[in-house]
Chain A
Amino acid sequence: MSSTTANSSIEAGPKRRSFLVDVGVRLIREKPLGTIGGVIVLILLITGIFADFLAPFGMNEIHSDAFLSAPTSKYLLGADNLGRDLLSRIIFGARISVIVGLCATTISVIVSTFIGIMTGYLGGKVDLVVQRMVDAWMCFPGLIIMMVLITILGPGMWQVIIVLGLQYGIAGSRVVRGAVIGIKENVYVDAARAIGCSTPRILWQHILPNILAPIIILFTTRMPAVILVEASLSFLGFGIPPPAPSWGGMLSGAGRSYMFMAPWIAIWPGVALSIVVYGINMFGDAIRDIVDPRLRGGVGRYGTAKSRAAAAEK
């Protein structure tokens, strides 16, 4: 009799897609602005990766015919005070933004996850001590800490990446810690202990996959901030040293000096920066809406546009 009890009426649900594919499909279907942001991110990535093929000239190539040249058919976006093609420099600048953005954000997320999981899961004294240190770190204005650190470490792209990763990693550990504490309360973590799982296994197998959503959100929302702060640091002279074409650096050096004579030197890197930051923000917001479980119920609870229409008809 009971051999059929449990199975009789489970329906063949739709085949479950993998998590990332699911996010992608829902992004395109439900979030047009987010999709535009995604396209901008994609363009940025491609530009950064294939800069060597896309740029008409080298990034530091000096053209004697082009000092402060306005946009022409040869130099599409004009040239700067040393006769370097601005389009090429913007394209190579994208590569720097991509490298700094991706690497610094990755480092920051790893740092956040490590601190967050340790303090959130272990709790007690470790949590108390480490979180007070995080508090202390966050008492200082971020920009000043970073400028001091870079002064100590010396200038260079990797120094900037490490400093940015550390700064945002420590600040972001709060978010991860909160998520871990929420997950830890779930009975399935107790269940894992009860079947005899070791602590590392619980962290790796049960905690980490379940805080993936906040980690992804952290990643996508931190990336534009990181790119902007890199630009600010370069603008202030603490970033990537010239002649490397960082967008922030381009704004500050020649861009400022020749602002009235050759405004395009400052305008193009500014436009590039704005579009990229806007795009990543839109993309990040859309991703957050999709993966955040608190907002996720949206469709189920309030119905899709179609079902709402059907309800309104009645």
Chain B
Amino acid sequence: MASNDHIIEVENLKMYFPVTAGVMQRRVADVKAVDGVSFYIKKGQTLGLVGESGCGKTTCGRAILQLYKPTSGNVQFEGRELTKLSNKELRNTRRNMQLIFQDPYASLDPRMTAGDIVGEPLIVHNMVKKGNEYKDQVNEVLRMVDLEPRMAERYPHEFSGGQRQRIGIARALAVRPSFIVCDEPVSALDVSIQTQVIMLLMRLRDELNLTYLFIAHDLSVVRYISDQVAVMYLGKIMEITSSDELYDHPLHPYTQALLSAVPIPDPVVDRQRKRILLSGDVPSPVNPPLGCNFNPRCQMAIDICREQEPELRDIGGEHFVSCHRI
């Protein structure tokens, strides 16, 4: 299914973290953070990856960028197989794929000025020597994210959360990548600042023809920015389809429960919605249930769900669901 307009293709990606015990650090079990995830993103589009905490969405983003070495699976980026690259080749490839972090406080080095943070990728990738040209480029990137060049001399602690997130975005943009993983880029920000950053990310995507993997737990935000949305639960993808289709016709019982749990900021509308309350907690990824991962909490579960793992199937119109009952 390798097609030219797919900028990134992930195939059966698995990321297990060993659980060790004893003096000899013996491997006794695995945390199956990402357990066989496949998807692709078309150039210029945004794929939203939603799920609750601990579902493996952040790990998935990092494993795609090879910040963790995946346990198995393939990641094709612009036609190159990332899992087989040498360290040096990988470092060079990083120029084209960047990451925006959740925490605008911890993700900026406190001892570097905003300008140096934004300019570092340029230096690392030998795109420009220090000097006037460097300064010009840094200023240009700062302007792209609506920060004034005079702020380049300041240190991170002198900025507000929203401004710091803009610096993080500028750092990712400095080397003009084609693909950016946005890992919960707005969830640490205030409501009014969130909207500012979302609008900025969307404007940059359109202006620079960027492709995003947008990881978040806030479904309203994901829906707003994404063309396609993938729903993750316990390391697996439950449903992928276009943003509109997913929110208008969710098919997987988990997606339905997730959507119904989101309160709508309008009491009149919210009262009329059907609510599905899930019982219990997410099982441990060390020891996922037999059969479908969601079966212990699913109201529609039947025998087959407890025995056999469902596959992600295309049910037409690029709508993929992993459920026996559909």
Q: Determine whether A and B are in direct contact in the complex, meaning some CB atoms lie less than 8 angstroms apart.
A: yes
Among B146, B155, B200, B203, point to the contact of A16 (Cβ < 8 A).
B155
The interface size bin for chain B is 35 or more
Q: Which residues of B contact A186 (CB under 8 A)?
A: 106
Among B98, B101, B146, B175, point to the contact of A5 (Cβ < 8 A).
B146
A194 touches B109 (CB 8 A): no
Among B101, B102, B111, B151, point to the contact of A209 (Cβ < 8 A).
B111
- A64 on interface, CB distance cutoff 8 Å: no
Q: Which residues of A contact B106 (CB under 8 A)?
A: 186-188
B65 touches A194 (CB 8 A): yes
Q: Whole-angstrom distance from the CB of A124 to the nearest CB of chain B?
A: 10
Q: Whole-angstrom distance from the CB of B207 to the nearest CB of chain A?
A: 12
Among A2, A3, A193, point to the contact of B67 (Cβ < 8 A).
A193
Interface string of B71-105 (1 = CB under 8 A from A): 00000000000000000000110110011011100
Q: Which residue of the partner chain B has the closest CB to A189? A: B109
Q: Enumerate chain B interface residues (CB-CB to A < 8 A).
A: 65, 67, 91-92, 94-95, 98-99, 101-103, 106-111, 120-121, 124-125, 145-148, 151, 154-155, 158-160, 162-163, 166, 168, 171-172, 175, 196, 199-200, 203
Among B103, B162, B175, point to the contact of A195 (Cβ < 8 A).
B175
B94 touches A5 (CB 8 A): no
A10 touches B160 (CB 8 A): yes
Q: How many A-B residue pairs have CB under 8 A?
A: 89
| Given contacts A194-B98, A196-B94, A187 and B110 within 8 Å (CB-CB) | no
The contact sample of 22 A-B pairs, CB cut-off 8 A, is A2-B200, A5-B146, A6-B145, A6-B146, A6-B166, A7-B147, A186-B106, A187-B102, A188-B110, A191-B109, A191-B171, A194-B94, A194-B98, A194-B99, A195-B124, A196-B94, A197-B91, A198-B124, A201-B124, A205-B109, A210-B109, A212-B111
| Given contacts A6-B146, A188-B106, A188-B108, A195 and B120 within 8 Å (CB-CB) | yes
Among A7, A10, A205, point to the contact of B146 (Cβ < 8 A).
A7
A191 touches B158 (CB 8 A): no
A7 touches B148 (CB 8 A): yes
Among B99, B145, B158, B172, point to the contact of A13 (Cβ < 8 A).
B158
B101 touches A196 (CB 8 A): no
- A190 on interface, CB distance cutoff 8 Å: yes
CA distance A186 to B156 in the complex (A): 14
- A206 on interface, CB distance cutoff 8 Å: yes
B67 touches A190 (CB 8 A): yes
B101 touches A210 (CB 8 A): no
- A166-189 contacts to B (CB < 8 Å): 186-188
Q: Which residues of A contact B65 (CB under 8 A)?
A: 194
Count A interface residues, CB 8 Å. 27
Among A7, A10, A190, point to the contact of B101 (Cβ < 8 A).
A190
CA distance A7 to B145 in the complex (A): 11
Q: Which residues of A contact B199 (CB under 8 A)?
A: 2
B147 touches A196 (CB 8 A): no
Q: Which residue of the partner chain B has the closest CB to A199? A: B87
CA distance A3 to B166 in the complex (A): 13
Q: Whole-angstrom distance from the CB of B152 to the nearest CB of chain A?
A: 13
Q: Whole-angstrom distance from the CB of A27 to the nearest CB of chain B?
A: 20
B124 touches A191 (CB 8 A): no
Q: Whole-angstrom distance from the CB of B204 to the nearest CB of chain A?
A: 11
- A1-56 contacts to B (CB < 8 Å): 2-7, 10, 13, 16
A187 touches B107 (CB 8 A): yes
CA distance A198 to B90 in the complex (A): 11
Q: Which residue of the partner chain B has the closest CB to A191? A: B107
Q: Which residues of B contact A13 (CB under 8 A)?
A: 154, 158
| Given contacts A186-B106, A188-B108, A196 and B124 within 8 Å (CB-CB) | yes
B121 touches A195 (CB 8 A): yes
CA distance A197 to B90 in the complex (A): 11
CA distance A186 to B102 in the complex (A): 12
Q: Whole-angstrom distance from the CB of B123 to the nearest CB of chain A?
A: 9
CA distance A71 to B121 in the complex (A): 68
Q: Which residues of B contact A191 (CB under 8 A)?
A: 99, 101, 107-109, 168, 171
B151 touches A10 (CB 8 A): yes
Q: Whole-angstrom distance from the CB of B171 to the nearest CB of chain A?
A: 7
Among A4, A7, A197, point to the contact of B124 (Cβ < 8 A).
A197
Q: Which residue of the partner chain A has the closest CB to B174? A: A195
Closest 6 CB pairs of A and B: A196-B94, A187-B107, A194-B99, A187-B106, A195-B121, A209-B111
Q: Which residue of the partner chain A has the closest CB to B109? A: A188
